[in-house]
Structures are given as structure tokens and as C-alpha cells.
Amino acid sequence: MDDIIIVGAGIGGLTLGLALHAAGIPCRIFESALEIRPVGVGINLLPHATKELAALGLEPALAEASIATADATFFNRFGQLIYQEPLGRAAGYEHPQFSIHRGDLQRILLEAFVARAGRERLNTGHHCTAVEQDEAGVDVHFSNAPGGTSRTVVRGRAAIACDGIHSAVRRQLYPGEGEPCYSGVNMWRGVTRWKPILSGASMVRAGWLSHGKMVIYPIRPAGADGLQLVNWVAEIETPVYRKRDWNRPGAIDDFIGAFADWHFDWLDVPAFIRSADSVLEFPMVDQDPLPRWSFGRATLLGDAAHPMVPRGSNGAGQAILDARALVSALLEHTDPAAALASYEQQRLDATARVVLANRANPPDAILREVFQRTNDRPFKDIDDVISRDELVGLTESYKRIAGYSKEALRG
């Protein structure tokens, strides 16, 4: 009854569970899946998020499983270098940027939660269907699976919906919200085992959305064969897309034409794509920021609260920052409703700014500027196209909005 009920054992829910446990606040996590399997492909944790995970004692485990990403490197579709900047510790941050397989990240969080809080505090096969509340507590309703007929109700002090982009609780709170906003860009995501590209810790962005853009970065250290697991995303503007589903398989022939002549000295892109272990398809969608997340003893966190297009490596990070803010608010206020309201006040506007910046001016705005100014032609000298100050300005302004400028983290 005194527990905080966490709905969803994804990145946000597990981080929240670990942070609550560390603060001495009892919680239980309820996850829809019967078994937590290593699904997804690559994900990035920027220094604002790795700072929080380090505070939970997770940096060594993360460092072992991931790549400490050292540079962001931007090219046009002719393979010409536009801009390069250091990232994470290489850029002088106190905390690293980690690029990691989502399954590895979830496993590290899950193992830590089970070891610290106890296996009995993690309940799988619990699909949330509704949340109800009265003066004294919340009742969270579950079925044994999506559409399942076996029902249970769990009572707690507050309910935190960390149930991701298809959040049942968000749907309950905003029944008329409608479909997600399609950005006009469809994505194909995959992983390929490949020898280290550029520095072996580079995050590459190349091309532009109208004819095809690639994002490429390694997510696991090289094995004995010298190959890294390299994540890639192909992004192309098209009116054609299918409903969002993290696990929908994709077909290489649907998009490889856009990259057919991308044979660069630093990577043969078509050969790299064709060597993929797996390919998934996902539309680039988000939802308009909500006016409110907290309703008495219930609130939203992570993608359930603020789904964003993945153009700034910030989805997981913002969920982790939400968790930290919520725990601070619960420590500060004995009344859970007051705590949830204070959490919303700290995080709603901040994350809305990231959602909107990801639509308009994420870091890859650099590629758009060069694409437009060169009329999609090769350049002789990048300095004739765009000044270094302007390039730095574009990336620094996003860092400030998303909360990971060096000044913000030092503060």
C-alpha cells in the first residue's frame, strides 16, 4: 500500500525503480511483457544521463558493454566532411557519452534493480489497463497480457506510468488525443558487424532527409574478430509509412536505392547495409507536448509523457532525467500529489522544448544547412559554405535546450 507503483520496466521505469530504492522509497515495477528480452537496436546516453546513471553506481557496467563515443562527424552525401566535434569525455565533460544496444542497457538496469530491490519487486506479465484513485491511494488495474482476460488490481501510494510510446495511462488521461504526428520521414534501423569506422567511436551523420540520411555509430566493443556491432539508421522523406511498432521488420530493398552510390573511402555504405544482422522499420513520429502529466497520485514519465523524434539522442536521457526529478520531488514532499505536481513543474516545459527542438533544429540541422546552401552539390571548401562559428552555434544551441551543455552540467 505504501509502495510507488511503476508501470513499465523500460529505460525510464527501471531507472526510476533504482533511484527510488537508493532514496529508501519502496516501489514495485509492473511490466507488460512476460519476459524481458533484449529488443531494439542502438541508443545513446549523453553526459546529462550518464551523470545520473553514475550516481546509481552503473558507470562501470555501462562502460564495459558500450562504446564511449568520442566524436560527432558530419558528411554530405558525397562523403565530404562538413564538421567534426569531440563528444563526452573527449570533449571535456566529466561524464561520458555511451552508445549502447538498448537490450544491454535494459539488462544492466534490470540486473541492478533485481539485485538491490529484490526479484519480488519486479512483476512481469502485468499489462496496465487503467489507474483509479481516491483520497488514500491509487488502484492500478492489470491484465495478464494486452487483451488478456485474467485481471488483478494493485494498490499503492502513487502510480507512475513509464509505459512508453503506446502508454495505456496516457490514453486513459487523454482519450481524444488522436494519432501520433508523422514527421514525413520513415526510418529503417539495423545493426551490422563491421570493422571500426573512422575513430571506432564516431557518431556519423551523413546526407540529408530529402534524398536519404544515414546515422551510424558502434554500440559494442570489438570482439576477437576485430568487428564492432555498429548501429545504423537510414532516414528518408516519404509519405509512405506503417504504424509505429518497435519490432516491425524492414526490407533493405525498400530503401537501399537512396544510398546506392555511397562508396566512400571511410565506408562502403551499400555493402555495410547489406551485411546487416537485422533490419527494423519505424516511422519518425512524435506527439504534441501535453498541458499536464500529473493528476493527483498518477503521472507520466519518459516516452509516455513526451515522445520525441529520435534526432537528438535524447529519448532515453530525458526519461532518466525525469526519474531523477521525480525522486527528488518525492523526497521533498510527503503528500504524493504535491510531489507529482512539483515533478511536472520541473520537467514538463523542459521536455516540451526538447520535443520541439527535435522537430525543428536538432544537431543534424547542420546537414540541412549545407544541403540547402550548396544546392545538394559537392563543395570545394566547406568554409565557403558555412563558417565554423555557425556550425558550433548550431550544435551548442541544441545542447543548451536539451540540458547537456558543459555549463549546465557543471551547475
Ligand X SMILES: Cc1cc2nc3c(=O)[nH]c(=O)nc-3n(C[C@H](O)[C@H](O)[C@H](O)COP(=O)(O)OP(=O)(O)OC[C@H]3O[C@@H](n4cnc5c(N)ncnc54)[C@H](O)[C@@H]3O)c2cc1C
Q: Give the H or E element holding residue 393.
A: helix 388-402
The single residue among 303, 351, 370, 395 that binds ligand X, judged by CB under 6 A, is 303
Q: How many CB atoms lie within 10 A of CB 252?
A: 15
Minimum distance, C-beta of residue 392 to ligand X, in the bound complex (Å): 26
The single residue among 5, 41, 330, 386 that binds ligand X, judged by CB under 6 A, is 41
Minimum distance, C-beta of residue 403 to ligand X, in the bound complex (Å): 15
The single residue among 56, 117, 168, 276 that binds ligand X, judged by CB under 6 A, is 168
The answer to whether 10 contacts ligand X (rule: CB under 6 A) is: yes
Contact 289, 306 (CB under 8 A): yes
Total residues binding ligand X (CB under 6 A)? 34
DSSP codes joined into one string, 291-325: S---BTTEEE-GGGT----SSSS-HHHHHHHHHHH
Contact 48, 403 (CB under 8 A): yes
Maximum distance among all alpha carbons in the chain? 69
Q: Please say which residue, 108 or 382, places its beta carbon nearer to ligand X.
A: 108
Q: Are strands 98-101 and 67-68 parallel, antiparallel or unpaired?
A: antiparallel
Single-letter residue type at 183: S
Minimum distance, C-beta of residue 131 to ligand X, in the bound complex (Å): 11
Q: What track of x and - describes contact with ligand X for positions 93 through 132 (by CB under 6 A)? A: ---------x------------------------xx----
The single residue among 17, 310, 336, 403 that binds ligand X, judged by CB under 6 A, is 310
Environment class of 302 (CB within 10 Å of its CB; exposed 0-12, middle 13-18, buried 19+): buried
Q: What track of x and - describes contact with ligand X for positions 215 through 254 (by CB under 6 A)? A: -------------------------------xx-------
The answer to whether 212 contacts ligand X (rule: CB under 6 A) is: no
Binding site for ligand X (CB under 6 A): 7-13, 30-33, 39-43, 102, 127-128, 162-164, 166, 168, 189, 246-247, 302-304, 310, 315-316, 319
